[in-house]
Homo-oligomer: A and B are copies of this chain.
Amino acid sequence: MLKIVYLGPQNTNTHLAALRRFKSKAKFNHAPTVEDVFRAVELEEADYGVVPIENSLEGAVTRTLDRFVQFKQTPARIVGEMELPIRHCLITLPRTSRDKVRIIYSHPQALAQCQHWLDKNFSNAARRETRSTAEAVDDLLAKEGLWSRDEKAAIGSPELARQHKLKAAPIPVDRDNRTRFLVISSMHESGRGKRNKTSLMFALKDKPGALHDALIPFKSCGINLTKIESRPTKQRAWEYVFFVDIEGHESDKSVKRALNALKRCTARLLVLGSYSVQKG
Residue A172 at the chain B interface, CB threshold 8 Å: no
Contact (Cβ within 8 A) B212 A224: no
Using known A-B contacts A58-B62, A62-B59, A231-B59, determine if residue A224 contacts B208 with beta carbons closer than 8 Å. yes
Flag the segment in A20-28, A36-44, A88-96, A234-242 that touches B.
A234-242
In chain A, residues 208-254, which have Cβ atoms closer than 8 Å to a Cβ of chain B?
A: 208-209, 211-213, 215-216, 218-219, 222-232, 234-238, 240
Name the residue of chain B whose CB is nearest to the CB of A63.
Answer: B112
| Residues of chain B within 8 A of A216, CB atoms compared | 212
Nearest chain B CB to A229 CB, angstrom units: 6
Q: Which of B178, B223, B224, B231 contacts A237 (CB 8 A)?
A: B178
| CA gap between A232 and B179 in the complex, in Å | 12
Q: Which of B55, B228, B236 contacts A230 (CB 8 A)?
A: B228
Q: Which of B212, B215, B218, B237 contacts A56 (CB 8 A)?
A: B237
| Residues of chain B within 8 A of A238, CB atoms compared | 56, 178, 226-227
Using known A-B contacts A56-B237, A56-B238, A176-B237, determine if residue A219 contacts B226 with beta carbons closer than 8 Å. no
Nearest chain B CB to A83 CB, angstrom units: 8
Residue A175 at the chain B interface, CB threshold 8 Å: yes
| CA gap between A218 and B209 in the complex, in Å | 8
| Residues of chain B within 8 A of A270, CB atoms compared | none
Using known A-B contacts A208-B224, A209-B219, determine if residue A58 contacts B237 with beta carbons closer than 8 Å. no
Q: Which of A212, A224, A230 has the most CB of B within 10 A?
A: A212
Residue A126 at the chain B interface, CB threshold 8 Å: no
Report A's interface with B, CB cutoff 8 A.
55-59, 62, 175-178, 208-209, 211-213, 215-216, 218-219, 222-232, 234-238, 240
List the 7 closest A-B pairs by CB distance, nearest first: A56-B237, A212-B215, A209-B219, A176-B237, A212-B219, A208-B224, A178-B237
